[in-house]
Structure 1
Amino acid sequence: MLEISHLYKDFKRFCINDITLKINRDDYFVLLGASGAGKSVLLELTAGITKPDSGKIFLNGKEITLLPVEKRKTGLIFQTPAIFPHLTVKENIAFPLFAASRQIVDSRVRSLAEQTGISHLLNEKPAKLSGGELQRLALARTLASDPLMLLLDEPLSAVDTPMKSSLRGLLRGLNRDGMPMLHVTHDFEEAVALANRMAVIENGSIIQTGTPTEIINQPKSGFAAGFIGERNFFKAEIKGLYAFVEAGGAGKDRFRIHLNEHCEEGPANILIRSSHVVVAKDKPELSTTNNFSGRISSISPLREGFEVCIENGTRFYARITRDALEKLSLAPGQEVWACFKASAVEVIR
């Protein structure tokens, strides 16, 4: 079990700010964030490459905050594997086993190569390996040092798409066999495919922790909502059956958005999923209670359909099918209506 308690590190222009996390023995824990959010720095603090200004780190109940890297029993694997190019695959895996007998080394290397799927490459030099094979080699060599936990820094980002699925399977298998994981990535799909628990980090702070389902269903910030492809996320003031959202900044007009039920009054976040926003060319005569006119500023292709951005002091995004796009003859610059039901408005605190 890894416990990080009130970890703080000031880099002058950026800081890791009061991070507290608990990662259980059976967790595949993914830390999700954009580039520069602090993901890799947190791994380096956990691995001992960087020392914190304050806070504590415990691994299996033992404090490791100030221990050197080699005494932490954590295995750190980087985005670009740190492999010795002059050694064969076999020699790379055996490197952490220098103190063991030849018989033990040979047995351990064969076992790890088989576990990571690189038995057929033992006599090859790293220069002949693909990105996915290099990551498997990095895993095997790291496992040879008997770590208590793996720390993975964007391990799949340099791997070809066809290889990612098999590597995910390997990582999940290692976790099922008892290896706890702390895996950082900027890829939401990767996080959902691997994690049983995850956290979102923004500007050096953890802004949400939970299961992938909890974060998908209840994003706590526009940043987190953006990772799941939702951009209709607004800070609002709740009063009665309405959420008041500022349009265009402080002091400007405010949108009044109808809610489906009375909520606790005061500041809150609201989310309207883009699939619940209907686009109409004329003033609608629909059952929707929230109807806003605006101008289409962009139409962007998605995996399934298109995303239409409608501007009217703020931006509403709608997700529509190709058939709807063609039927309505939509194009940038057109005046249209963005419409959604009160029941589509999610209030998040």
Structure 2
Amino acid sequence: MLVVDNISLKAGTFELTNITFTVDQGDYFVILGISGVGKSLLLESIAGLIKINSGNIYLRGKNISEEKIQKRNISIVYQDTDLFPHLTVFENIAYPLRSKREKDIEEKVLKTAELVGVSDKLSRKPDTLSGGEYQRVALARSLAADNDIFLLDEPLSSLDAKSKRELRALLRKLNRSGITIIHVTHDYEEAVSLAGKIGIMEKGNLVHVATPENIFKHPKSEFVAQFIGIKNFLPGKLKSLPQSDLKEFIVNETRLFCLTEADDGDAFLLIQPEEISISNSAESGSARNHFEGEIIDIARAKIGVEVTVDIGCEVVALISAESMNSLGLKIGNRIWTNFKASACRIYN
């Protein structure tokens, strides 16, 4: 659907260099990177706000590299998108429809407002909305334009934790309805919870494009590995347990207890290596997960030692060198891994 083919551009002293990727109809593609690597610049070049110096951008087979933003059929929503303060929510959502002289404006506004959950706020002014409500209206205004692709530039970064969770759920819902989304963020948790495909940006270059599982399990560079900071990223299925506040996460045939509000079904599990302890026997205490396994690798880390253990799936624990020596750990040893249910972070 969208093909970005070897584009480069220069903005002041900063450059984007030889960027290439493809986004298919219905994809959720997240561009992930630290601040200042060119993520927003790339988004604006796709939208037509910034002219590229070389390469081409194709949408539905048509070269749109020279098209003006109004003719690209692409919507963009910024972190701090400004709604028109003198207009009601209804009038803000209707604005792109009136600009295009669309028919059935009221019907389309009501449908879009219901989709994003603001149908009860149509008569209100923007300054009466919460941060999450404000961003929902901004999304609705862009959706109402009915463009081919939806570009989001750090849309959740200024929201509180509750609003972020709600907006993530809304974005997943919109994507499931068939909307194609390209989303820029510096937050890896946000990326993994939303993306079907992730592109990692570093210093104006797109250095790795793959599924979340591939990105997190097989980083292609030291930058990617350091940036994501995750060793344990496991795909599996989440299942509720009767009469319990815990859920069961099943990866291969290994069953882990998790304390989570995530929905049942296909999901990813993240565990920080420092959350996993190692012992010669199952520990007593509040940890609900105890698995015996075989040490398959031991490697010095920047701080401490990373011990990889096969418990039916591979997990990495970060321990001190003193702990490794006192436990007498060696590759091939049988040892126990222990971690709390609350250490398991689940993303649908």
Task: Give the structure-2-normalised TM-score.
Answer: 0.69
* Amino acid paired to 1:159: L
Are the counterparts in 1 of residues 135 and 155 from structure 2 also a CA contact under 8 Å? yes
SS at match of 1:309: coil
* Amino acid paired to 1:74: I
2:73 corresponds to which residue?
73
* Amino acid paired to 1:23: V
Does 2:48 correspond to 1:54?
A: no
1:113 corresponds to which residue?
113
Are the counterparts in 2 of residues 31 and 39 from structure 1 also a CA contact under 8 Å? yes
Query: Cα offset for 1:112?
Result: 0.9
State the percentage of identical aligned residues: 41
Consecutive unaligned residues of structure 2, counting only runs of 5 or more, are 232-271, 280-294, 308-315, 334-348
SS at match of 1:40: helix
Q: Distance in 1 between matches of 2:218 and 2:297?
A: 23
Are the counterparts in 1 of residues 306 and 317 from structure 2 also a CA contact under 8 Å? no
Query: Cα offset for 1:341?
Result: 4.5
1:166 corresponds to which residue?
166
Query: Cα offset for 1:13?
Result: 2.2
Are the counterparts in 2 of residues 288 and 339 from structure 1 also a CA contact under 8 Å? no
Q: 1:317 to 1:141 in 2, by over 3 A?
A: same
1:128 corresponds to which residue?
128
Identify the range of structure 1 (84-93 vs 95-104) with the bigger mean alpha-carbon deviation: 95-104
Q: Distance in 2 between matches of 1:168 and 1:289?
A: 36
Q: Distance in 2 between matches of 1:338 and 1:14?
A: 51
* Amino acid paired to 1:53: N
Q: Distance in 1 between matches of 2:31 and 2:156?
A: 14
Q: Distance in 2 between matches of 1:61 and 1:35?
A: 32
Query: Cα offset for 1:317?
Result: 6.9
1:298 corresponds to which residue?
none
Q: After TM superposition, where is structure 1 displaced by more than 4 Å over at least 4 residues in a row?
A: 99-103, 273-280, 287-292, 316-321, 335-343
Query: Cα offset for 1:168?
Result: 1.3
Query: Cα offset for 1:146?
Result: 1.3
Does 2:88 correspond to 1:88?
A: yes
Q: Distance in 2 between matches of 1:36 and 1:123?
A: 39
* Amino acid paired to 2:96: P
Query: Cα offset for 1:171?
Result: 1.1
Q: 1:3 to 1:19 in 2, by over 3 A?
A: same
2:44 corresponds to which residue?
44
* Amino acid paired to 2:13: R
Q: 1:91 to 1:290 in 2, by over 3 A?
A: closer
Query: Cα offset for 1:105?
Result: 1.4
Are the counterparts in 2 of residues 276 and 340 from structure 1 also a CA contact under 8 Å? no
2:303 corresponds to which residue?
309
SS at match of 1:56: strand
Instruction: Give the aligned CA root-mean-square deviation in angstroms.
Output: 3.5
* Amino acid paired to 1:115: L
Are the counterparts in 1 of residues 298 and 306 from structure 2 also a CA contact under 8 Å? no
Are the counterparts in 2 of residues 277 and 339 from structure 1 also a CA contact under 8 Å? no
Task: Give the structure-1-normalised TM-score.
Answer: 0.69
In the TM superposition, 1:1-349 aligns within 5 A as 1-98=1-98, 104-230=104-230, 309-310=303-304, 341=331
Q: 1:68 to 1:338 in 2, by over 3 A?
A: farther
Deviations 1:277-330 (CA, angstroms, capped at 9, x unpaired): 9999xxxxxx898687xxxxxxxxxxxxxx9825xxxxx678868xx88xx79x
SS at match of 2:120: helix
Q: Distance in 2 between matches of 1:288 and 1:136?
A: 48
Are the counterparts in 2 of residues 278 and 338 from structure 1 also a CA contact under 8 Å? no
Query: Cα offset for 1:75?
Result: 0.5
Count how many residue pairs are aligned between Structure 1 and Structure 2. 270
Query: Cα offset for 1:230?
Result: 4.8
* Amino acid paired to 1:72: R
Are the counterparts in 1 of residues 94 and 144 from structure 2 also a CA contact under 8 Å? yes
Higher Rg of the two aligned structures: 1
SS at match of 1:65: coil
Q: Distance in 2 between matches of 1:149 and 1:223?
A: 29
Query: Cα offset for 1:141?
Result: 0.7
Q: 1:112 to 1:203 in 2, by over 3 A?
A: same
Query: Cα offset for 1:134?
Result: 1.1
Are the counterparts in 2 of residues 309 and 317 from structure 1 also a CA contact under 8 Å? no
Q: 1:340 to 1:56 in 2, by over 3 A?
A: farther
2:286 corresponds to which residue?
none
2:240 corresponds to which residue?
none
Query: Cα offset for 1:41?
Result: 0.3
Q: 1:230 to 1:113 in 2, by over 3 A?
A: closer
Are the counterparts in 2 of residues 279 and 338 from structure 1 also a CA contact under 8 Å? no
* Amino acid paired to 2:303: C
Are the counterparts in 2 of residues 29 and 195 from structure 1 also a CA contact under 8 Å? yes
Q: Distance in 1 between matches of 2:328 and 2:8?
A: 44
Q: Distance in 1 between matches of 2:38 and 2:30?
A: 13
Query: Cα offset for 1:99?
Result: 5.6
Are the counterparts in 2 of residues 278 and 340 from structure 1 also a CA contact under 8 Å? no
Q: Distance in 1 between matches of 2:64 and 2:38?
A: 20
Are the counterparts in 1 of residues 216 and 230 from structure 2 also a CA contact under 8 Å? no
Q: 1:337 to 1:70 in 2, by over 3 A?
A: farther
